[in-house]
């Protein structure tokens, strides 16, 4: 478990470093487009938002595609009946 | 290992003898147990297997039912290894594993190799024995260390779950996938086939009990680099990693399915010779290590 934590800390550290260096770069280089400036400054907020969106969409899609398999249930009930009959005949039940 | 060395030196095809030990923990399953046994007989007619029933002193008389079944099907096919009290699922597997009689991997003579497998399944009919031949076929095709079965009855779906339970199930799975990145889509399932040695190793290292236990086993297995095959319906929405998140958002969900295990999907690996898996001739190239 500890190693998985280390992997995560590393990733967050790399992303943070990347972000900070972009911020520093913004201070030095004069970016004429305000949109890019805004995006870089608030990148972590967008990141978290996208992550949340991904989570919500994945869970929603998963729930929507949940396989309810009522056919399989029916088939199983048939087999249960068959099994009971056979086992009764063999005097196991 | 010894097995591989001998195979390397041997120019002739080798016969691999396989045995499957099914561990079946039961607690108050007197109704379901006979059905499970009957279904196993129906679908594993040509597979060499033994069933180890670990009953924790069920008050409903599961053990009497088990004894009757043993009498009918034979004591070499059905082994009864009860315990005195309800001690939980995790330890039930450890207990049952001791009695698995399949040979440990060893070389008998230069033409014959024994490999043993253990199958874990629930006795409450949420795991259908008809999937076992598919799991066995998949294991043999790719020499997987572990194969996970479909979690629910039928083709990977559930029957009679309400919205709340579905959301909780999907949510928990998402969180586990995101944090642990096990590379396996069904973490909590308990319908699995293991190489016996792999199961013994993992089980001895796992510290959690109860239902987290299955997750820990899978997590450890994937971190150790054991190969895992999944028998799962292809229609499931795949879980995707952080790296593919952007690509997914840019190109739409249809591209995400390409990133997963190419062997997923029941259609891809119907057993080629259904049932005839207990002894087979293989070319030495097909028996690679993990
Ligand atoms: N031996 C033994 N079996 C158990 C115990 N608890 C559950 N089982 C069995 O383990 C299987 C799965 O249990 P279940 O309650 O359905 O778990 P769930 O599907 O994860 O909710 C069933 O076959 C139960 O009969 C236990 O304490 N001891
Ligand atoms: Mg259950």
Contact of A12 with chain B, judged by CB distance below 8 Å, is answered with: no
Better-scored residue on pLDDT, A72 or A58: A58
Mean pLDDT of the residues in chain A: 89
User: The tokens of A80 are what?
Assistant: 């249960």
Whether B142 and B270 map to the same domain: the answer is: no
Report pLDDT for A34: 80
User: What is the distance in angstroms between the CA of the first residue and the CA of the last residue of chain B?
Assistant: 12
Ligand 1 pocket residue status of B269, Cβ below 6 Å:
no
In three-state secondary structure terms, B272 is: coil
The tokens describing B253, both together, are 């969900």
CA-CA distance, B78 to A67, in Å (whole number)?
33
Same-domain check for residues B46 and B188: yes
Per-residue model confidence (pLDDT) at position B284? 33
ipTM above 0.90, yes or no: no
Residues of the domain holding B262: 244-287
Identify the residue with better confidence: A71 or B49: B49
Is the pLDDT at B258 greater than 90? The verdict is: no
Distance CA B219, CA B19 (A): 26
Kindly identify which residue of chain B lies nearest to residue A57, measuring between CA atoms. Answer: B253
Higher confidence at residue B211 or residue B122?
Answer: B122
Residue B156, both tokens: 């990977």
Mean pLDDT, chain B, integer: 76
Establish if B248 touches chain A: CB-CB under 8 angstroms: yes
Rg (CA), chain B: 20
Contact (Cβ atoms closer than 8 angstroms) between residue B113 and residue B103: no
Report yes or no on B2 lying in a domain.
no
pLDDT in tens, A11-54: 999 999 999 999 999 888 887 778 888 889 999 999 999 999 99
| 8 Å CB contact between B230 and B222 | no
Task: Tally the domains of chain B.
Answer: 2
User: Pick from B162, B188, B160: which is nearest to B175 by CA?
Assistant: B188
How much is the pLDDT for B11? 60
C-beta atoms of B154 and A71 within 8 A = yes
Q: Does pTM top 0.90 for this prediction?
A: no
Interval B50-55 mean pLDDT: 98
Residue B268 pLDDT > 50: no
What band does B151 get if pLDDT is binned at 50, 70 and 90? Answer: low
Statement to judge: residues B223 and B261 lie in one domain = no
Of ligand 1's atoms, which has the minimum distance to the CA of residue B54?
A: 1
User: Per the domain annotation, does B226 fall within a domain?
Assistant: yes
Residues B181 and B253 reside in one and the same domain: no
Same domain, B141 and B257: no
Which residue, judged by its Cα, is nearest atom 11 of ligand 1? B122
User: Which positions in chain A touch B152 (Cβ < 8 Å)?
Assistant: 67, 69
Tokens 């440990």 belong to residue: B104
* Nearest C-alpha neighbor of B132 from the set B192, B187, B196, B185: B192
Which atom, in ligand 1's list, is nearest to the CA of B83? 1
Label residue B222 by pLDDT band (50, 70, 90).
Answer: confident
B154 plus B100 within the same structural domain: yes
Q: Where is average pLDDT lowest: A82-86, B168-172, B199-203?
A: B168-172
């Amino acid at each position: 478990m500890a190693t998985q934590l280390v992997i995560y800390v590393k990733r967050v550290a790399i992303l943070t470093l990347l972000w900070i260096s972009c911020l520093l770069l913004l201070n030095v280089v004069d970016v004429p487009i305000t949109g890019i400036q805004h995006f870089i400054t608030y990148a972590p907020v967008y990141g978290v938002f996208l992550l949340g969106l991904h989570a919500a969409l994945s869970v929603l899609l998963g729930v929507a595609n949940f396989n309810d398999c009522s056919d399989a249930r029916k088939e199983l009930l048939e087999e249960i009946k068959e099994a009971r009959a056979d086992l009764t005949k063999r005097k196991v039940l | 290992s010894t097995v591989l060395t001998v195979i390397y030196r041997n120019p002739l095809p080798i016969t691999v003898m396989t045995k499957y030990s099914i561990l079946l923990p039961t607690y108050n399953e007197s109704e379901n147990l006979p059905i499970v046994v009957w279904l196993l007989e129906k679908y594993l007619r040509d597979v060499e297997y033994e069933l180890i029933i670990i009953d924790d002193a069920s008050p409903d008389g599961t053990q009497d039912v088990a004894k009757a079944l043993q009498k009918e099907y034979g004591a070499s096919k059905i082994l009864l290894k009860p315990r005195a009290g309800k001690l939980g699922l995790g330890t039930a597997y450890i207990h049952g594993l001791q009695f698995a009689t399949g040979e440990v991997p060893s070389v008998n003579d230069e033409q014959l190799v024994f490999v043993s497998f253990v199958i874990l399944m629930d006795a409450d009919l949420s795991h259908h024995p008809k999937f076992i031949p598919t799991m066995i076929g998949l294991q043999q095709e790719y020499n997987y260390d572990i194969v996970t079965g479909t979690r629910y009855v039928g083709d990977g779906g559930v029957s009679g779950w309400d919205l709340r339970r579905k959301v909780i199930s999907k949510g928990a799975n998402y969180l586990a996938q995101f944090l642990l990145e096990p590379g396996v889509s069904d973490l909590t399932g308990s319908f699995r086939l293991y190489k016996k040695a792999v199961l013994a190793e993992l089980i001895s290292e796992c510290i959690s009990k109860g239902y987290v236990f299955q997750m820990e086993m899978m997590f450890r297995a994937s971190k150790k680099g054991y190969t895992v095959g999944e028998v799962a319906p292809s229609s499931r929405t795949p879980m995707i990693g952080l790296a593919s998140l952007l690509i997914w958002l840019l190109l739409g969900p249809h591209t995400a399915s390409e990133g997963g295990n190419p062997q997923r999907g029941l259609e891809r690996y119907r057993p080629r010779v259904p049932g005839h898996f207990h002894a087979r001739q293989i070319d030495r190239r097909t028996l690679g290590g993990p």
